[in-house]
A and B are shown apart, each in its own frame.
Chain A
Amino acid sequence: MKVLLIEDDELLGKSLQRGFDEQGFDCVWCARGMDAIEELNQGSFDALVLDLMLEDMNGLNVLTELRQRGSSVPVLVLTALGSVEERVRGLNSGADDYLVKPFAFAELVARLHAVVRRTALPQKAATELIAGPLTLDITTRCARRDGCEIELTTTEYKLLEFLIRNSEQPVTRRMLCEHLWDANWEGVTNVIEVHINRLRAKIDRGFRQQLIQTVRGIGYAYRTK
């Protein structure tokens, strides 16, 4: 995956680039908005990680410029401004996701994977999601594993659907929280774990292959391999 990182903070930029490299990404790092626009002129990228406060311009300008050219490259915005207006403004300008500093690197990688996947696979109007041994019926909101019908509550269904749509990639607890309840709850209490456990009890209990796996320090992943 080729990522363009636009971040003017020396320390953060350096560590992010190293992190991306170690993840096996091909990362180009620009500290200035002008350089980033030049990079975008020269090559194509799979994703952009964009800091909103750059030395030479507002990161939103880069984003607007990009969208005006008709590019649909997924953009993940980094911002130190936590206020609601800023977030809304970023998303309205065409960002696919945002992260407020300080954030965990694992969070950034998981979200990057999610936005790339979301934009790469246009949502087909399928009525079923098939992921390994499990089939998820979108209309009836029922799951089926090896021929057994599994009834799901609304929360469980939304949880499973999100995991399957990001299958093989870890998703963080925060991403799940945001997806399920539009919540960015940072409280100490781990609110997602019980729902995951309940879902596991329904779809994984009694099977040798565990589809929902815990990824230490990050969250959970739906894996069929």
Chain B
Amino acid sequence: MRTGQSSLQGIRTLRFRLMIWNATVVIVTAIVTLMGLREAVRFTLIRELDQLLSEDVREIELSLVNFERAESTELQEQLDRKDAGHAQHKWFVQLINIQQERVVYQSQHAPHELPLSARAALTPQSYLQWRFFERNVNNVRIRIGSSLELIRADVGRIDRLVAMTTGIVLLIAPLCGYWLAGRATRPLNQMIATMAGLRPSRLDERLIIRGTGDELDRLSETFNRLLDRIGSYLQDHRDFLANAAHELRTPLAAIRNSIEVTLAKQRSTEEYEVLLADIEEEAAALSLLVNQLLLLSETESERLRVHTERVRLDELVVKAVDMFGGVAECKDITLSTIDIAASEIFGNAHHLRQVIYNLLDNALKFTAAGGTVAIELKQDGQFALLKVSDSGIGIPEQDLQQIFERFFQVDRRRFPPLDGQANTYDKLDVPRGSGLGLSICRAIVRAHEGNIRAESQLHHGTCIIVRLPLAAPLREPSKLPSPAEMPNATLQG
């Protein structure tokens, strides 16, 4: 059973298959070449014989015309001499009186079995082992021929040579093929050995690039790049886990500390209430963080693909504006919609809402009283463009690239001041966030095959632009009502 399997595996190897292809090609080429050569030799020999015979015919034709009669003794003597000279080829000549169908003369090797056709064949004829020419002069048919036996013997020798060579090739080609295929596939075996040794925990090993630039080198390079990407992905996740744990520590420490302090001595009921309220607040912050981490990991693992539907992005925007309208009013910020185009995208409504909420929440948080926040939704070809712009404090240029990174927060203390005025960041009453909001946005947008970017002018405002692919329209696109016709479209703020 095992040997059967291993021999099957041997047959399945690339090396074995290369050998088979190699050997087949070599053997077929050799046989075709040798057969071609044999035919060429045979053809040449017959051509040579034909040449000789046709010259002889011409000579005897002239003699016959010269002597006028076929019965002439001088002619026959000449023919006898010629016959003696060519005897070893079994050369022959026949002179036949056509009207009497009588052989006037024939040399000693002349065959008797040749039929007399009505007309003289002008091209060389083959009959049994004979090759001959015919020509009519007056009433006499000249027939000159020779035996093909010698040529056949020559060709037979070539045939034996072909058979022998083929046999040798049959034996050698697979062996050489196997050896060559082994050489060609040896790097592959090395690659397999290296890959087999890779473990997710230890991905530092790389395939050796031999510098030949061939397909195997390219394969190695591609694989190495894949390893790089996997490595950085894993590193990213390790960092994420470490950061998450680190971030969870702070509220946890606060909770433990509060409890310990509370329990340290007897207190009045009011004191207990205050301390417990503190703990509850810390616990709420902890829950929020945990939920955000879950949302992030949920979107980053792209599990939302399992749960997608047609989502009216404009409806979500209108609702979000309604929802945040009150907050804006409270903070004396003008929240306005610029242009909300009916846009349908394919995705997860629950997650898309989080994107809009996060963006609006951020915009409102970082904008001072009297400022403006505007939200715009328009279509750009196959994409929906969602823009949330504010007249807030902006983002320092060196931080702009990092705001979508997990746990990144603009450093409040190092916020660049504006013309000697007090720190604009400090003037805002911004509660400390988790630093996950925008990274959640990015993860969700990416899971929807869109992209998100930020433009910002320090002290003047920020604009976040989300690009999401639109869903292909249904058969009746006219059925989509514009937001103005929607029952819930109360724009406020």
Query: How long is the Cα–Cα vector from A183 to B361 in the complex, in angstroms?
Result: 14
Q: How many whole Å from A206's CB to the nearest CB in chain B?
A: 22
Minimum CB–CB distance from A103 to chain B (whole Å) comes to 8
**When the two chains form their complex, are residues B307 and A88 in contact, meaning their CB atoms are under 8 A apart?**
yes
Beyond A102-B290, A181-B322, A187-B357, is A84–B365 a contact (Cβ under 8 Å)?
no
* Cross-interface CB contact of A83 among B283, B298, B326, B329, cutoff 8 Å: B298
**B287 sits at the interface (CB 8 A):** yes
Q: Which residues 150-170 in A have Cβ within 8 Å of B in the complex?
A: 153-155
Number of A-B contacts (CB under 8 A): 86
How far is B329's CA from A22's CA once the two chains are assembled, in angstroms?
Answer: 40
Residues of B near A25 (CB, < 8 A) are none
Return chain B residues, CB-CB under 8 Å to A66: none
Q: Residue B165 at the A interface, CB < 8 A?
A: no
B457 on interface, CB distance cutoff 8 Å: no
CA distance A187 to B327 in the complex (A): 12
Distance in angstroms from A138 CB to nearest chain B CB is: 14
Tell whether, in the assembled complex, residue A154 and residue B353 are in contact, meaning their CB atoms are under 8 Å apart.
no
A154/B290 in contact, CB under 8 A:
no
> With a CB–CB cut-off of 8 A, which chain B residues contact A185?
323, 353, 357
CB distance from B115 to the nearest CB of A (A): 96
Check B298 against A82 for contact (C-beta < 8 Å): yes
Contacts of B365 in A (CB 8 A): 189
Closest to B358 in A: A187
Main secondary structure of the interface of A (DSSP, over half): loop
167-209 of chain A: CB within 8 A of chain B: 177, 180-195, 197-198
- Beta-carbon contact of B323 and A191 below 8 Å: yes
Q: For chain B, which range describes its interface: under 10, 10 to 19, 20 to 34, or 35 or more residues? A: 35 or more
Q: Which residue, of B288, B327, B433, B487, has the highest number of chain A Cβ atoms within 10 A? A: B327
Instruction: A186 to B353: give the CA distance in the assembly, Å.
Output: 12
Map CB proximity to A onto B355-366 as digits: 1 under 8 Å, 0 otherwise.
001100100110
A50 to B35 alpha-carbon distance, docked (Å) = 87
Is B465 located at the chain interface by the 8 A CB criterion? no
Contacts of B342-377 to chain A: CB distance below 8 A: 348-351, 353, 357-358, 361, 364-365
User: Considering the chains assembled together, what is the distance between the CA atoms of A197 and B280 in angstroms?
Assistant: 25
Structural contact, A189 and B327, CB atoms closer than 8 A: yes
- The answer to the question of B492 belonging to the interface, with a C-beta cut-off of 8 Å to chain A, is yes
Q: Is the CB of A188 within 8 A of B433?
A: yes
Name the B residues within 8 Å of A183 (CB-CB): 319-320, 323, 353, 357
Q: Which B residues, 409 to 451, have Cβ-Cβ distances below 8 Å to chain A?
A: 431, 433
- A197 contacts which chain B residues (CB < 8 A)? 326
Q: Assuming the A-B contacts A82-B298, A84-B307, are A182 and B353 also in contact, with contact meaning beta carbons closer than 8 angstroms in the complex?
A: yes
Instruction: Kindly provide the distance from the CB of A11 to the nearest chain B CB, expressed in whole angstroms.
Output: 14
Q: Does B243 contact A (CB under 8 A)?
A: no
Are B350 and A186 interface neighbours, CB within 8 A?
no
Judging by beta carbons under 8 Å apart, are B319 and A181 in contact?
A: yes
Shortest C-beta distance, A89 to chain B (Å), equals 10
For chain B, what secondary structure do more than half of its interface residues adopt (helix, strand, loop), or is it mixed? helix
Contact between B433 and A177, CB atoms less than 8 A apart: no
Query: Contact: B322 with A198, CB < 8 Å?
Result: no
Which positions 374-428 of chain B face chain A at CB distance < 8 Å?
none
From known contacts A153-B492, A183-B353, infer whether A85 and B306 are also in contact, taking CB-CB under 8 Å: yes
A195's nearest neighbour on chain B, judged by CB, is B326
Q: Say yes or no: B353 contacts A102, CB within 8 Å.
A: no
Chain B residue contacts of A184, Cβ below 8 A? 350
**Chain A residue with the shortest CB-CB distance to B437:** A187
The interface bits of chain B over 456-469 (1 if a CB of A lies within 8 angstroms of the residue's CB, else 0) are: 00000000000000
On whether the beta carbons of B348 and A84 are closer than 8 Å, the reply is: yes
Chain A positions within 8 Å of B364 at CB level: 189
Q: Tell me how far the C-beta of B59 lies from the nearest C-beta in chain A, rounded to whole angstroms.
A: 105
Asked if B350 and A84 sit within 8 Å, CB to CB, the answer is yes
Whether B490 contacts A155 by the Cβ 8 Å rule is yes
B328 to chain A, nearest CB (A): 9
Cβ of B471 < 8 Å from any Cβ of A?
no
**CB within 8 Å for A194 and B307 given contacts A82-B291, A181-B319:** no
Residues of A within 8 A of B295 (CB): 82
Cβ–Cβ < 8 Å partners of A187 in chain B: 357-358, 361
Beta-carbon contacts under 8 Å, B277-299 to A? 277, 280, 283-284, 286-288, 290-292, 294-295, 298
Closest B-chain residue to A82, C-beta based?
Answer: B294
Bound-state CA distance A185–B316 (Å) is: 13
A154, B307: Cβ atoms closer than 8 Å: no
Complex-state Cα separation, A91 to B324, whole angstroms: 28
Find chain A residues with CB under 8 A from B361 CB: 187-189
Q: How far is the CA of A187 from the CA of B320 in the complex (A)?
A: 13
Q: Does B304 contact A (CB under 8 A)?
A: yes
A104 part of interface (Cβ distance < 8 Å): yes
A residues adjacent to B (C-beta < 8 A): 82-85, 88, 100, 102-104, 153-155, 177, 180-195, 197-198, 217
Can you give 8 contacting A-B residue pairs, CB < 8 Å?
Answer: A85-B307, A102-B286, A104-B284, A186-B291, A186-B292, A191-B327, A217-B277, A217-B280
A-B pairs, top 4 by smallest CB distance, nearest first, are A194-B326, A102-B287, A181-B323, A187-B361
B residues with CB within 8 A of A: 277, 280, 283-284, 286-288, 290-292, 294-295, 298, 303-304, 306-307, 319-320, 322-327, 329-330, 348-351, 353, 357-358, 361, 364-365, 431, 433, 487-488, 490, 492
